[in-house]
Structure 1
Amino acid sequence: MPASVTSASRRRFLALLGGSAAAVTLAGCGAAAAAGSGGGGQTKKLRYQGWAGQVLLPELAQDLGYFGDVTLDWVGDTISGPQDIQSAATGQVDFGGAFNGAVVKLAAQHAPVKAVISYYGVDRYSYNGFYVRQDSPIRSGRDLIGAKVGVNTLGAHDEAMLDIYLKRQGLSPAEIAQVEPVVLPPVSTEQALRQKQIEVAVLGGVLRDKALATGGIRPLFTDYQLLGAFSAGTYVMTERFLRQNPDTARTFVTGTAMAIEWARTTPREQVVARMTDIVHKRGRNENATPLKYFQSFGVAETGGRITDAEFQLWLDWLAGRGTVPKGSVTAASLYTNQYNAYRSGS
């Protein structure tokens, strides 16, 4: 891996979000107003970005009939969570989802957004592992000094987990700085590990299962081992959209919450079959094969309700890095559960 690429890219994610406030200002309120249906009525159509080959919880909710007369309007696929929530903040779409640390960063740049429901997380089925080769001498955090760690995005979930792990292993800030996260496409990370271009590969989902089935690698740690079960990402909407469309927002959030619980309580084979059918029906020329490895969305709280703790973790991490000034943003100001009418058994 060229040194120029790895050194230059370390903070690319935070630089991207650093421009979010300017993007919101340039977009103004006009784009957000486009979400309205005109005539003072609430919009019944929600523009959004998808992920190729995946079924989002709102897509599942719509297919299950949980949105009533509210419909989804797919405008294309996103390239990342940070890009998705920036598009929501500028009014290009009506909701977007990302890792909670990205939501903190965007809010700290004064983007007028609120997290409204958790949509993915970590549990014993859905997790990322930090893997080394079977013959690797790396056995502890201290062994990572000078090592390259393949991650999918800088400044996001994987780098946060790595930092937390290294701190718990007793490394100093100077020592942690010598561990180098390297951005790699997820589909290439396993190969880079096996070819010894990196010392550690972060793998999750089908890519993790495939690599483990091939053999020759072992886990150093996983985010589930590190922190247990927790919700890691949320969908956001602009405050303006929520003010103008409260009933639509409530339908969206509550329907998504119902889909979370449907997926949690329905046999996995039925969930996989339903999502595979959704991919086939929408006709986007996608490969639905990876869906057969689906295990869980990993959302911790019932119905995706959000708690302070899910944001405080990232507030502390970003403040420790000097990315977000300590005390400039509070966990409670980042989210609302008022549009989530789901209750157990409802």
Structure 2
Amino acid sequence: MTVIKRIIHAALPVVAFAASATAVSAQTAEKLELRYQGWASKVLYPELAEDLGYLAPIKLKWIGNTTSGPQDIQAAVTGDVDFGGAFNGSIVKLIAAHAPVKAVISYVGTDKETNGGLFVLQDSAIKGPRDLVGRKIGVNTPGAYQQYLVTAYLQKSGLSQADIDKVTFVPAPPVNLAQLLKQKQLDAVFLEDIIKDKLIADGGARLLTTDYAQFGSYGYASYLFTNRFIAQNPDTVRKFVDGTARAIEWTRTTPRDEVVARLKKIVEARHRNEDTSIVNYWKSPGVGSKGGVIASEDFTTYIDWYVKNGVLKPRQVTPDAVYSNQFNPFNQAVASH
């Protein structure tokens, strides 16, 4: 926390989010290289945007893979990377701790085709939520999105808090969770999007529920920059958001086979010793809104949940303090419909 506090005291106030996003091409980005962390076997929308030429003249500099969303956004706060992305609830917690950051675009969500799911082995005795009491459930990060989804699933089924407290959440990298389930080291695992679909295709696992089945289509993770970075590099942020938003929409309007081929080419070309087969299971953008425009509910859902559970005080964090759609070129288009 001391590092965060030093940054808080040193942070500049966010400049007014001026200039229309439609004028992005006329702007000159202040910073032409953005450091970031990737995810194994996955292509992030900024990576796709760069490959499509939407970020030019900005270049991305990969400094390694992140271990979790919370780690990624902490790296942005401390200045180890220029932008980071995480579960919206994790961003709420970071801002509640007075970190000077702002979410600028949604990049992960759930829709009918792309969603996360809670799995058990095909022959498991677990048939429903009550059977999960006393079990070990694998998630990518404790206290983040997947744990929230499983907890909400258990709460909606009528389980008491005492019963829910008996569930043990075990963190592990997403690419390892399916293997741990097959080895019976975990009783259930929550897997997201294409990793989930690969497990289904491989067989031997049974789906209990999905986030889409629980809550419908929405965005649940966002990219953020520090207030200092936004103040010093507003046109760079604008270009980043514009390019990333356009990449999201490119996947929505481009034939699936072409999208998959492009993603596979990107993974193969970066030579990170990854499983390139995972991208074959890509189905849809998996972002709840057009161009990654953030909806207030994408954050109020978790703010309300934390207040209810005593993690936050009422109005300790408000949506306007957490995110801004000012840089997103699809913001006005969405608002006018």
Residue 27 of structure 1 deviates from its aligned partner by: 5.4
Q: 2:197 aligns with which of 188, 203, 209?
A: 209
- Please give the residue correspondences for 1:263-342 in structure 2 after superposition, counting only pairs within 5 Å: 263-342=251-330
Residue 225 of structure 1 deviates from its aligned partner by: 0.4
Contact 1:150-1:182 within 8 A present in 2 as well: yes
2:239 maps to which residue? 251
In structure 2, relative to structure 1, the CA distance for the partners of 1:31 and 1:48 (3 Å cut) is farther
Structure 1 spans left out of the alignment, 5+ residues: 1-18, 33-40
Residue 281 of structure 1 deviates from its aligned partner by: 3.1
Moved more, 171-180 or 66-75: 66-75
1:161 maps to which residue? 149
Residue 206 of structure 1 deviates from its aligned partner by: 4.3
1:226 maps to which residue? 214
Residue 261 of structure 1 deviates from its aligned partner by: 0.3
1:144 maps to which residue? 132
Residue 270 of structure 1 deviates from its aligned partner by: 0.8
SS at match of 2:235: helix
**Matched length:** 317
Contact 1:160-1:317 within 8 A present in 2 as well: no
1:76 matched to 2:64: yes
2:181 maps to which residue? 193
In structure 2, relative to structure 1, the CA distance for the partners of 1:303 and 1:211 (3 Å cut) is closer
Moved more, 73-82 or 309-318: 73-82
Contact 1:161-1:223 within 8 A present in 2 as well: yes
In structure 2, relative to structure 1, the CA distance for the partners of 1:92 and 1:257 (3 Å cut) is same
- Please give the residue correspondences for 1:94-173 in structure 2 after superposition, counting only pairs within 5 Å: 94-173=82-161
SS at match of 2:294: coil
In structure 2, relative to structure 1, the CA distance for the partners of 1:131 and 1:289 (3 Å cut) is closer
1:64 maps to which residue? 52
Alpha-carbon distance in structure 1 between the residues aligned to 2:95 and 2:308:
17
Deviations along 1:316-345, one digit per CA (max 9) or x if unpaired, are 222233323332001221000111123659
| Aligned residue identity for 1:240 | R
Residue 208 of structure 1 deviates from its aligned partner by: 2.6
Alpha-carbon distance in structure 2 between the residues aligned to 1:144 and 1:190:
17
Residue 253 of structure 1 deviates from its aligned partner by: 0.5
Moved more, 121-130 or 190-199: 190-199
Contact 1:133-1:216 within 8 A present in 2 as well: yes
Structure 2 spans left out of the alignment, 5+ residues: 13-28
Deviations along 1:149-191, one digit per CA (max 9) or x if unpaired, are 1222110111100111111111121121122222234344334
2:3 maps to which residue? 23
| Aligned residue identity for 1:180 | T
SS at match of 2:98: coil
Q: TM-score, normalised by structure 2?
A: 0.86
| Aligned residue identity for 1:307 | A
Contact 1:112-1:239 within 8 A present in 2 as well: yes
| Aligned residue identity for 2:289 | E
| Aligned residue identity for 2:116 | N
Alpha-carbon distance in structure 2 between the residues aligned to 1:187 and 1:282:
18
| Aligned residue identity for 1:98 | A
Residue 293 of structure 1 deviates from its aligned partner by: 1.7
In structure 2, relative to structure 1, the CA distance for the partners of 1:200 and 1:238 (3 Å cut) is same
1:175 maps to which residue? 163
Contact 2:11-2:227 within 8 A present in 1 as well: no
Contact 1:140-1:169 within 8 A present in 2 as well: no
Deviations along 1:285-322, one digit per CA (max 9) or x if unpaired, are 44423222222331111111111100011112222333
CA RMSD of aligned residues (A): 2.4
Q: TM-score, normalised by structure 1?
A: 0.84
In structure 2, relative to structure 1, the CA distance for the partners of 1:201 and 1:303 (3 Å cut) is same
